[in-house]
Amino acid sequence: MTMQTKVIKITDPAESATDLKEAARILREGGLVVFPTETVYGLGGNGLSQSSAEKIYAAKGRPSNNPLIIHVHDPAEADKYAHAGDLYDRLAAAFMPGPLTVILPKRECIPYATTGGLDTVAVRCPDHPIAQALLKECGDFPVAAPSANLSGKPSPTVAEHVITDLSGRVDMIIDGGESDIGLESTIVSIDHDHEGEYLTLLRPGAITADALTCVCERVVIASAVLEQLKEGERPLSPGMMYKHYAPSTPLVLLDGTPEDVLAFLQKEQADRSCAILCYFEEMPHLKHENLFPVGGKDDLATQAHTLFSLLREADKAGASIMYAHLPPLDGLGLALYNRMIRAAAHTILQVP
C-alpha cells in the first residue's frame, strides 16, 4: 500500500478554510486524513462507511475487531449515531468538548466495521480548534479515528511521528503542532445494576476518576486498567487486549523511594548502557548519557505531555534497557501508570 500523502501545516483554521474543505472532501469520499486533537493525533475516515473503516485498519496494521472512536463537533450530535441518555448529557455538559470518550448503544447508521462488530459505539467531541473546524466542515458524517500510529507504536503527539508511521498510507496529514495533553482520552461506559446507573472507567486519561465522580457518584475502574488480563479473559474494551506501545528496548518501571531509585539508577549507569526517563530534579545527579527528562517529579501534566515522544526517542538510543519511574495511582497518575505498565509489559522492579 503506497499512495501520495499530502502534508499540510495549519496554525489558524480560519486562514486555512480551503485546506480544511479539501480534507473534509477526502473524508466524505472515503479517503484517510490525519488530524491533530488535544490528546493525540487521529487517523480519520468516514464513520458511516464500512470501506473507510477497513482502510483505517489496513493503514494502521490494526486488527479489525478493535473498534474505532467516532468524533463529532458538537456533543449533541452523538444522538444521531447512538442512543445517548441523561447521563451522557450530564457528562457532555461537564467535559465536552474535551478528552472524554463515552461508549453508547449504536444506531443502525454506524456500520459494524466501525465498531469492530460491537452493538456499541465510542463517541468523542475533541477540544482542538483544527479538529473542531474539520468536524464542522464534515457536517453530515462523524469522523472515525483511532490514534494515528502504526499498531504497536506509541500514539503520535507531533506530526513528525505520524509522518514516520503513516507516510504513503494516508491521503493527507494535517500538521497542527504538538498535542496539548499527550495521552489518549478517558473512556467510560454507562452501565446499570440493581443499585442503578454507574460509569465503568475503561481507559484512564486527563478526565480523572475523581472528576467523573462529580457527575456520577459511582465510578468503577475496569480491572484491565491496572492489571494484566488473565489467560483467556475477555476485556470490556477490546483495545485492552493489545500491548499497544511496545518499545524494542525493554522498559522496566522502578518502584521505591526517590532516594533508592536514584541510587539504583546511578549504579546501573556505572554498570551498563541504559536509557533513563528521569525527573528534571534528578538530572544533575546522573551522567548525561541517554537521559530523557519527562518533567518535574510532581508535574504529571508535563510527564503526560512528553511520555510518548520520549518513549519513541529513548527506544532509538540503542541502550540495552530502559528505566522509568512507576507513576502514582491517583489523579492523572493513573493514566500514566496504565500506559507505562503496558509499555513495560507489566515489568515492575522494587528497589532496593
Which three cell numbers mark 211?
A: 472528576
Q: Which DSSP helix (H) or strand (E) runs through 325? A: strand 321-325
* CB closer to ligand TXA out of 95 and 279: 95
Contacts of 79 (CB under 8 A, 6+ apart): none
* CB closer to ligand TXA out of 206 and 314: 206
Largest CA distance in the chain: 61
Q: How far is the CB of 104 from ligand TXA (least distance, A)?
A: 8
Please report whether residue 39 would count as binding Mg ion according to CB under 5 A: no
Q: How far is the CB of 219 from ligand TXA (least distance, A)?
A: 16
Report the residue number whose CB is nearest to ligand TXA.
239
Please report whether residue 186 would count as binding Mg ion according to CB under 5 A: no
Q: How far is the CB of 41 from ligand TXA (least distance, A)?
A: 7
Report the C-alpha gap between 348 and 195 in whole angstroms.
Answer: 37
Please report whether residue 147 would count as binding Mg ion according to CB under 5 A: yes
* CB closer to ligand TXA out of 216 and 321: 216
Q: Is the dihedral of CA 58, 63, 64, 66 positive or negative?
A: negative
Q: How far is the CB of 239 from ligand TXA (least distance, A)?
A: 2
Q: Is the dihedral of CA 11, 131, 183, 333 positive or negative?
A: positive
Please report whether residue 185 would count as binding Mg ion according to CB under 5 A: no
Report the residue number whose CB is nearest to Mg ion.
147
Please report whether residue 303 would count as binding Mg ion according to CB under 5 A: no
Q: Which DSSP helix (H) or strand (E) runs through 278? A: strand 274-279
Positions touching ligand TXA (CB under 6 A) are 37, 39-40, 42, 66-69, 101, 103, 115, 118, 120-122, 124, 126, 145-147, 184-185, 187, 202, 237-239
Question: Which of Mg ion, ligand TXA, none sits in contact with 69, Cβ below 5 to 8 A by type?
Answer: ligand TXA
Report the C-alpha gap between 255 and 47 in whole angstroms.
Answer: 42
Backbone φ, ψ for residue 154 (5° rounding): -65, 155
* CB closer to ligand TXA out of 200 and 290: 200
List C-alpha distances in Å: 278 to 6, 31, 308, 327, 328: 37, 41, 14, 12, 15
Which three cell numbers mark 30?
A: 472515503
Please report whether residue 306 would count as binding Mg ion according to CB under 5 A: no
